[in-house]
């Protein structure tokens, strides 16, 4: 069999340290070059490299090889950073200008400067590079052909780097399994100073300090986890790190000065016994580290900071059996942070939803100076700052995918003395905010939106808000809550009339925090909610029930799957949220409640659902606001029911995280279900469900609804872009597997 011609003729690696020898080995193992030649001043290194199969052949110097190198050959400079100029001098004097030159030094500014010095100007054949890989080990003995797999290699081509040279260096690294990115020399040096160089200097410095203490033997004997984790990199090559410190002097000094100043403040706080400063700093750092950890776990692309798209693949024939507890209620979790922050004293939250939406709210309040501990296994402690204690955020507040976050925060921010900006992700940026911005403007708030009332919201603080009596044109708990929160900052009574009952968590939690709120029934399902501004909220304990909106997926799973039996524990059954129970029961579902109790002003129960044949119904419009988030999965129930199900009066579904009427109709049709969208609802005729590839439309609830459909599908269902499931239900896939749904995440 004939071998593919190697893309590179001769690969010459000058300097066989860890990186150089690992690259040589990878190139040999993967057949990336016709021949791999090692150059080192030390003959012992060359002997070892040959012996260990790292290289094909040795050379004592580049000069000795220069005559045989031509276009298609690549010289990799793998020597310590401060030795690079000498090798570049040799290149300039000896190498043909067609030979590609690259390097692996951790600092790029000094390499380009050295090339300019050797050549007069950086030559087209030079493509500086830096593999972000390594270990504290050094030398040929540590050579690892897999070292670069999945790691990043940053190339910093200069203005005159030749395209063919760049392509060859890219191909070399990609061939080693690395991910190649490009950036400017200055960006590279600044970023690496902060993320790599400084941590190494800190580790060296800490170990040195401890080693210098008199009792160092004893100290090292007792130095366990923390010390070991933090100082692993202090075992790195001293010459290399001396070179990096000197070569990247200005970028390193800048970040070192910043850290020194922060360190002095930390020292001051410890000296002064300022526990609050310490808790604030540690909590902020803990949250940033957890966020970073999650990014790493999700395999984020560090260039774009956007997650790799997740795909759900579902095989038919799964079951729905077991007892599970779904995560905490999203609506209540958002409000626990907001009201906890605006309260006097401490609020301890348990059962908090550790989903992206509620975490975004938590971060927003941290950014306004509120100390918040956690979340840790659903426990969060909010150190309230009172209604007037928020501080101006230094950057726009990013609430991610969360409509609740943005609309409720708009109400809070309208009443602050400082300016603020609210931004969200692509889905949220397309959603209507005029429904809160307009009535807030009537109260005297100054809020600029993008065209069509879309985010970002730019809020000018320092306004005197006036109370408002507002009749909402739509039944929206977010609008109601927004105006009530703004009402806290008005003198006098603010009232909101809702055309139909919507979730009342804000009212319940305000009352739980000792703030009077009046709800009056005006007849015909119309409610008027009012409060007077200027009061005080008192922090307390909040036990967040499990989210009925998340439970709904498993309720439907059991309702449509023969032989199923699922119990969902500790679910919030607030009467303004139980539309899904009412609708499923009207369709014939077998649902029983037990362990009914009240926790912190919210009713909870265990919900058991067993299979029973469903029938199509005309859904009572009064149930729409009470089941507003559960329709995607209710449509799946309808697809499994006998006869036709008709939904009307649900226009609001068109402005959720996606247009949920269209998204579900499109997906159901792909699966072979007769689903016809209408202006304010849908008609679905129950029948067989096939298989196919459906879009989640970046909407968590659409993704999860189609996953449930697999229980009655005849073949595989693939759902694209399921990342947003983490906004409300980060453990969905885990729990789905637990009850027997055949889900794999790709
Ligand atoms: C929510 C209210 C509802 C709901 C959303 C959460 C809340 O939105 O769809 O998921 O927490 O107040 P609307 O107020 O737009 O109906």
Residues 549 and 652 in one domain: yes
Residue percentage of the chain with pLDDT more than 90: 85
Residue to probe by mutation, ligand 1, list 436, 503, 626, 655, most atoms within 8 Å of CB: 503
Residue percentage of the chain with pLDDT more than 70: 96
Separation of alpha carbons 660 and 730, rounded Å: 20
Contact 719, 741 (CB under 8 A): no
Q: Is the bond preceding residue 456 a cis peptide, omega within 30 degrees?
A: yes
Distance 656 CA to ligand 1 centre (A): 9
Which residue among 149, 167, 183 closes a domain? 183
Distance 476 CA to ligand 1 centre (A): 6
CA 139 to chain centre: 37
Residue 296 has pLDDT above 70, yes or no: no
Question: Is 629 domain-assigned?
Answer: yes
Instruction: Write out the two tokens for 270.
Output: 């410890």
Burial class (CB in 10 A: 0-12, 13-18, 19+), 244: buried
Three-state secondary-structure class, residue 282: helix
Which of 388, 449, 458 is CA-nearest to residue 417? 388
Residues 422 and 499 in one domain: yes
Which residue among 183, 201, 233 closes a domain? 183
- Summarize the annotated binding site for 3-phosphoshikimate as residue ranges: 330-331, 335, 476, 478, 629, 656
Separation of alpha carbons 531 and 485, rounded Å: 9
pLDDT, tens digit (0-9, with 9 covering 90-100), for 667-715: 999 999 999 999 999 999 999 999 999 999 999 999 999 999 999 999 9
Host H or E run for residue 380:
strand 379-385
Tell whether ligand 1 has an atom less than 6 A from the beta carbon of residue 476: yes
Which of 141, 251, 142, 242 is CA-nearest to residue 200? 242
pLDDT, tens digit (0-9, with 9 covering 90-100), for 375-432: 888 999 999 999 999 999 988 999 999 999 999 999 999 999 999 999 999 899 999 9
pLDDT, tens digit (0-9, with 9 covering 90-100), for 326-346: 999 999 999 999 999 999 999
CA dist 608 → 120, 545, 551, 573, 613 (Å): 79, 16, 11, 13, 16
Tell whether ligand 1 has an atom less than 6 A from the beta carbon of residue 630: no
Separation of alpha carbons 418 and 435, rounded Å: 22
Residue 493 has pLDDT above 50, yes or no: yes
Host H or E run for residue 547:
none
Question: Is 571 domain-assigned?
Answer: yes
Residue 6 has pLDDT above 60, yes or no: no
Query: Which CATH number covers residue 63?
Result: 3.40.50.720
DSSP3 helix / strand / coil % (the chain, rounded to 5): 45, 25, 35
Within 476-561, residue ranges assigned H as helices are 477-487, 505-512, 548-560
Residues 519 and 637 in one domain: no
- Summarize the annotated binding site for phosphoenolpyruvate as residue ranges: 330, 403, 431, 478, 660, 701
pLDDT, tens digit (0-9, with 9 covering 90-100), for 594-619: 999 999 899 999 999 999 999 999 99
Residue-level pLDDT at 641? 98
Residue 307's pLDDT band (cuts 50, 70, 90): low
CA dist 492 → 82, 440, 461, 467, 530 (Å): 71, 15, 20, 6, 10
Judging by DSSP bridges, how do beta strands 590-599 and 602-610 pair with one another? antiparallel
Tell whether ligand 1 has an atom less than 6 A from the beta carbon of residue 500: no
Separation of alpha carbons 150 and 148, rounded Å: 6
Residue 446 has pLDDT above 60, yes or no: yes
Distance, first Cα to last Cα, the chain: 36
Tell whether ligand 1 has an atom less than 6 A from the beta carbon of residue 331: yes
Residues 599 and 524 in one domain: no
What ligand 1 atom has the least distance to the C-alpha of 478? 14
- Beta bridge partners of residue 101, listed in sequence order: 75, 126
Tell whether ligand 1 has an atom less than 6 A from the beta carbon of residue 361: no
Q: Which domain holds residue 81?
A: 8-183
Question: Is 228 domain-assigned?
Answer: no
Range 463-473 average pLDDT: 97
What ligand 1 atom has the least distance to the C-alpha of 475? 16
Contact 581, 733 (CB under 8 A): no
Residues 106 and 35 in one domain: yes
Tell whether ligand 1 has an atom less than 6 A from the beta carbon of residue 574: no
Query: Which CATH number covers residue 402?
Result: 3.65.10.10
Tell whether ligand 1 has an atom less than 6 A from the beta carbon of residue 481: yes
Q: Which residue has the tokens 């199900």?
A: 645
Separation of alpha carbons 602 and 581, rounded Å: 17
Q: How many domains are there within the chain?
A: 3
Is 73 assigned a catalytic role? no
Question: Is 495 domain-assigned?
Answer: yes
User: 356-367 and 275-297 helices cross at what angle (nearest 10)?
Assistant: 150
Contact 39, 65 (CB under 8 A): yes
Tell whether ligand 1 has an atom less than 6 A from the beta carbon of residue 110: no
Angle at 703 between CA 691 and CA 314, to 5 degrees: 40
Distance 432 CA to ligand 1 centre (A): 13
The catalytically annotated residue of 243, 398, 629, 699 is 629
Residue nearest to atom 5 of ligand 1 (CA): 404
What ligand 1 atom has the least distance to the C-alpha of 408? 12
Within 198-274, residue ranges assigned H as helices are 198-212, 216-222, 225-231, 238-247, 249-272
Contact 557, 566 (CB under 8 A): yes
Distance 282 CA to ligand 1 centre (A): 33
Residue to probe by mutation, ligand 1, list 337, 477, 634, most atoms within 8 Å of CB: 477
Tell whether ligand 1 has an atom less than 6 A from the beta carbon of residue 561: no
Question: Is 336 domain-assigned?
Answer: yes
Residues 527 and 549 in one domain: no
Separation of alpha carbons 147 and 135, rounded Å: 9
Residue to probe by mutation, ligand 1, list 332, 360, 476, 650, most atoms within 8 Å of CB: 476
What ligand 1 atom has the least distance to the C-alpha of 481? 12
Contact 458, 431 (CB under 8 A): no
Residues 46 and 115 in one domain: yes
Judging by DSSP bridges, how do beta strands 518-523 and 526-532 pair with one another? antiparallel
Residues 465 and 572 in one domain: no
Residues 494 and 617 in one domain: no
Separation of alpha carbons 317 and 556, rounded Å: 15
């Amino acid at each position: 069999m004939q071998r593919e011609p190697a893309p590179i003729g001769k690969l010459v690696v000058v300097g066989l340290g860890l990186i150089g020898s690992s690259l040589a080995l990878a190139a040999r193992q993967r057949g990336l070059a016709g021949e791999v030649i090692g150059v080192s001043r030390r003959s012992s290194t060359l002997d070892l490299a040959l012996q260990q199969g790292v290289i094909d052949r040795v050379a004592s110097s580049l000069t000795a090889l220069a005559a045989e190198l031509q276009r298609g050959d690549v010289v990799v400079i793998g020597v310590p950073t401060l030795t690079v100029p000498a090798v570049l001098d040799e290149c300039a004097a000896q190498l043909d200008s067609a030979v590609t030159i690259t390097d692996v030094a951790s600092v790029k500014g000094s390499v380009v400067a050295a090339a300019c010095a050797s050549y007069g100007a950086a030559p087209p054949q030079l493509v500086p590079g830096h593999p972000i890989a390594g270990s504290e080990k050094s030398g040929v003995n540590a050579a690892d052909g897999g070292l670069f797999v999945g790691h990043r290699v940053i190339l910093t081509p200069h203005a005159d780097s030749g395209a063919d040279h760049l392509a060859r260096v890219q191909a070399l690294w990609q061939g080693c399994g690395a991910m190649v990115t490009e950036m400017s020399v200055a960006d590279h040096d600044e970023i690496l100073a902060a993320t790599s160089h400084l941590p190494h200097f800190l580790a060296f410095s800490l170990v040195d300090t401890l080693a210098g203490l008199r009792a160092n033997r004893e100290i090292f004997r007792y130095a366990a986890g923390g010390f070991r984790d933090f100082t692993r990199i202090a075992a790195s090559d001293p010459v290399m790190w001396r070179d990096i410190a000197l070569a990247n002097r200005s970028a390193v000094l800048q970040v070192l000065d910043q850290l020194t100043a922060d360190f002095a403040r930390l020292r001051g706080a410890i000296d002064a016994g300022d526990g609050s400063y310490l808790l604030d700093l540690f909590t902020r750092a803990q949250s940033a580290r957890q966020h970073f950890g999650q990014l790493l776990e999700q395999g984020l692309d560090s260039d774009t900071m956007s997650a790799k798209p997740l795909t759900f693949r579902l095989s038919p024939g799964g079951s729905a059996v077991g007892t599970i507890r779904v995560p905490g209620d999203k609506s209540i979790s958002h409000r626990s942070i907001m009201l906890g922050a605006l309260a006097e004293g401490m609020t301890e939250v348990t059962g908090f939803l550790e989903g992206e939406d509620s975490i975004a709210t938590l971060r927003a309040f941290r950014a306004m100076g509120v100390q918040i501990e956690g979340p840790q296994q659903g426990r969060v402690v909010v150190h309230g700052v009172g209604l007037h204690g928020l501080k101006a955020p230094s950057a726009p507040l990013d609430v991610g995918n969360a409509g609740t976050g943005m609309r409720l925060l708009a109400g809070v921010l309208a009443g602050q003395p400082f300016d603020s900006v609210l931004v969200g992700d692509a889905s949220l940026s397309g959603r209507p905010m005029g429904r809160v911005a307009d009535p807030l403007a009537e109260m005297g708030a100054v809020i600029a939106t993008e065209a069509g009332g879309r985010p970002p919201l730019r809020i000018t603080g320092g306004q005197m808000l006036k109370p408002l009596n507002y009749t909402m044109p739509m039944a929206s708990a977010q609008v109601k809550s927004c105006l009530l929160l703004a009402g806290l900052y008005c003198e006098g009574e603010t009232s909101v009339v809702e055309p139909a009952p919507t979730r009342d968590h804000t009212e319940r939690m305000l009352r739980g925090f000792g703030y009077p709120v009046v709800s009056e029934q005006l007849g015909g399902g119309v409610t008027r909610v009012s409060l007077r501004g200027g009061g005080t909220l008192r922090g307390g304990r909040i036990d967040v029930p499990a989210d009925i909106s998340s439970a709904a997926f498993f309720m439907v799973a059991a309702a449509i799957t023969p032989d199923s039996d699922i119990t969902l524990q500790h679910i919030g059954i607030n009467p303004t949220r139980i539309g899904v129970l009412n609708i499923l029961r009207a369709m014939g579902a077998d649902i029983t409640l037990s362990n009914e109790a009240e926790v912190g002003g919210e009713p909870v129960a265990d919900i058991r659902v067993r299979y029973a044949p469903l029938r199509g119904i005309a859904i009572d419009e009064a149930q729409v606001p009470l089941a507003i988030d559960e329709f995607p999965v209710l449509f799946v129930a309808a697809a499994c029911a006998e006869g036709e199900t008709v939904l009307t009066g649900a226009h609001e579904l068109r402005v959720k995280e996606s247009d949920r009427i269209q998204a579900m109709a499109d997906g159901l049709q792909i699966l072979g279900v007769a689903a016809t969208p209408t202006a304010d609802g849908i008609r679905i005729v129950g029948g067989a469900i096939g298989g196919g590839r459906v879009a989640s439309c970046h909407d968590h609830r659409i993704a999860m609804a189609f996953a449930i459909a697999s229980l009655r599908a005849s073949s595989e269902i693939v759902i694209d872009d399921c990342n947003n499931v983490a906004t409300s239900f980060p453990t969905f896939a885990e729990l789905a597997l637990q009850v027997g749904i055949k889900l794999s995440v790709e």
